[in-house]
A and B are shown apart, each in its own frame.
Chain A
């Protein structure tokens, strides 16, 4: 069965420092991977995705993610964190069996400290 793990419930980082939010996956075949962000009392917003090609994917708001097939990871990164980046971040994998199902991780709360 396909699954996604986000091992950290919360990540704290100082403003201006680089940030990493971790995600590992377990799928059969080539994965379709996504990152979403949720601000308080809002729905999820798409940040970026990896489908194929370059392992470093760039997305919205200066975020990027690195796909590592050998480590089955898809960590979210940003070179310089902003206080406004504080939110809940979800990693997701798309079921490739044709059912259009997405499997989400449990989420990581990012707190950027001024």
Chain B
């Protein structure tokens, strides 16, 4: 199993550009989520999904869109990049059930200039 994969590893965008961060998991996990990690802020939840076709907002959803057309994939779209979106982005997945831990991808380091 590859676990949770994310692409790209690094990305530099100019203000106003759009892009999609890819996330895929091969563990048949129902629950997937996107976090951003900023110094001193820990991990903050952007969006999450409890299954294909179902998404919901987390703590910091503004400026981001998600969709979940398959169980495996959960892409994160930046609509119009802003310098405040410079961060490290992590995707995670969890098996259904309340006691399971999350599995994290390796992250995408995004810089918006």
Contact = CB atoms under 8 A, between A and B. Distances in A.
Interface stretch (A38-46, A68-76, A78-86): A38-46
B61 interface: no
A101 B58 contact: yes
Given A42-B106, A46-B101, A90-B42, A99 B56 contact: yes
B2 interface: no
Contacts of A101: 33, 45, 48, 58
What class of interface size applies to chain A in its complex with B? 20 to 34
Contact of A100 (B41, B50, B103, B107): B50
Contact of B40 (A34, A36, A106): A106
B84 interface: no
A96 B45 contact: no
B99 interface: yes
Nearest to B50: A100
B96 to A, nearest CB: 8
Interface string A16-46: 0000000000000000101010000111111
- Interface residues of B toward A: which range? 20 to 34
A105 B98 contact: no
B34 interface: no
Contacts of B41: 106
Interface string A83-106: 000000010001010011111111
A51 B31 CA distance: 18
Contact of B45 (A34, A45, A46, A102): A102
Contacts of A107: 42
A111 interface: no
Given A46-B102, A49-B99, A49-B101, 15 more contacts: A43-B90, A44-B102, A96-B98, A99-B48, A100-B31, A101-B58, A102-B33, A102-B102, A103-B45, A104-B35, A104-B42, A104-B43, A104-B44, A105-B42, A106-B41
The 9 closest A-B pairs by CB, nearest first: A43-B104, A106-B42, A46-B101, A104-B43, A44-B104, A100-B31, A51-B99, A104-B42, A43-B106
